[in-house]
Amino acid sequence: MQAAQIVSPNQMRIIAIPDPQPKPDEVIIEVKASGICGTDIHIYRGEYLGPYPVIPGHEFAGVVTSVGTQVTRFAVGDRVAVEPNIPCDNCVNCLNNRQNFCLNWQAVGVTRPGGMAQFVAAPEKAVFAIGELTFEAAAFMEPLSCVLHGLERLQAEMACSAAILGAGPIGILLLQSLRLQGAAQVTVVDKNAARAAFASQRGADKTLTSLDDLPQDAFDVVIDATGVLPVLRRALDFARPGGKVLWFGVPPSGQMTDIEPFKVFRKGLTVLSSFTSVRNSYQALDLLQSGRITLQGLVSHRLPLEGFEHGIHILENGLEGVRKVQVLPSP
């Protein structure tokens, strides 16, 4: 099969390797749609976790092509998506329902070969049936799971006012999910005017293209969906006294920024983060199947496997009206 491999930071190539064979507890999936995530950019740039070389891709869906001897829930031909985080279920964190902090954490597309390949192996426990969802839609199971986990952490109140910083795919999923939770007013900021306009199509009450225009001390909740350090820092300014700030976007590892702790103290802020998800995959699939989350227009680019690097390039530079880029390894 063919796969896109990140050999080392900033080094990518297409490789031909033998098709994966299932271990007893594994399912082999032919990948039909595989989203490029901001995390993949961090992996490509050497700013995340895990070893090199790696086949990235942790947001994907496809068709089961073979199953291991112990697999009971799936058969060849099933349409599925994968929860990439694989907990051991036997460490102190797993046994405390903190599987995202598993001490033996493995993740498809981070620590083991991912979905930027024609075929991928995943343990049965990480595989979910997607029903009638398109592969394109089902590849959003993972990012939506992370969004739902973030909102579980945030516990926004009914009728809250919210500011979302960043109108990429995650910002758009946050916007729609917050709406479902009963947010009364959602303002979305993105310096890219086309992205901001897309957010208003998806239900934002107000969109802005500059943080300078966002009122200070004004919002019950402020969510960063950029991971950009100066934006993370400024997120604290926009929360009202007693408000909450969720740093959701993935910042680059190893980089510092300065904040004013007195501001956090004086405003009595709750500052939260959110790492991956905890058992949110069924929730995400149910929401996608309900039609309450609209993905229409969210995928802007569909590229072949060889297009992975180009996809990174247009995402990093905000080119060509980019929103979500999906790779179709086995169209």
- For residue 189, give the amino acid letter: V
Residue 300: its H or E element:
strand 299-303
Least CB distance from residue 38 to Zn ion, whole Å? Answer: 7
Instruction: Number of residues interacting with Zn ion: please give it, by CB under 5 A.
Output: 7
Tell me which residues in 49-88 interact with Zn ion (CB under 5 A): 87-88
Pairing mode of beta strands 270-273, 239-247: parallel
CB of 32 to Zn ion, least distance (A): 17
Q: Which of 4, 6, 32, 39 binds Zn ion (CB under 5 A)?
A: 39
Q: Which is nearer to Zn ion, 171 or 243 (CB)?
A: 171
225 binds Zn ion (CB under 5 A): no
**How would you classify the pairing of strands 79-82 and 60-67?**
antiparallel
Alpha carbons 115 and 30: distance in angstroms, whole number: 9
In whole angstroms, the minimum distance from the beta carbon of 103 to Zn ion comes to 5
User: What residues numbered 86-105 form the site for Zn ion, per CB under 5 A?
Assistant: 87-88, 91, 94, 102
Residue 230 to residue 159: CA distance in whole angstroms: 28
Q: Which is nearer to Zn ion, 89 or 286 (CB)?
A: 89
Alpha-carbon span 86 to 78, nearest angstrom: 21
| Rounded-to-integer distance, Cα 118 and Cα 95, Å | 34
Tell me whether residue 118 or residue 277 sits nearer to Zn ion (CB atom).
277
- For Zn ion, the closer of residues 32 and 42 by Cβ is 42
Q: Which one of residues 3, 6, 31, 37 is an interface residue with Zn ion (CB under 5 A)?
A: 37
User: Which residue, 238 or 308, has its beta carbon nearer to Zn ion?
Assistant: 308
Of the pair 160, 287, the CB lying nearest Zn ion is at: 287
DSSP annotation of 141? H
According to the binding rule CB under 5 A, does residue 276 interact with Zn ion? no
Name the residue nearer to Zn ion (CB basis): 102 or 245.
102
Q: How far is CA 121 from the centre of its chain?
A: 20
What type of residue sits at position 287? L
Cβ-closest residue to Zn ion? 37
Place of tokens 């890219």: 192
Q: In what order do the strands lie in the sheet with 219-224?
A: 206-208, 185-189, 161-165, 219-224, 239-247, 270-273
Q: Report CA torsion sign: 137, 123, 108, 97.
A: positive
Question: Do residues 295 and 289 touch, judged by C-beta distance below 8 A?
Answer: no
Q: Which two tokens stand for residue 295?
A: 């993905």
Q: Which residues bind Zn ion (CB under 5 A)?
A: 37, 39, 87-88, 91, 94, 102
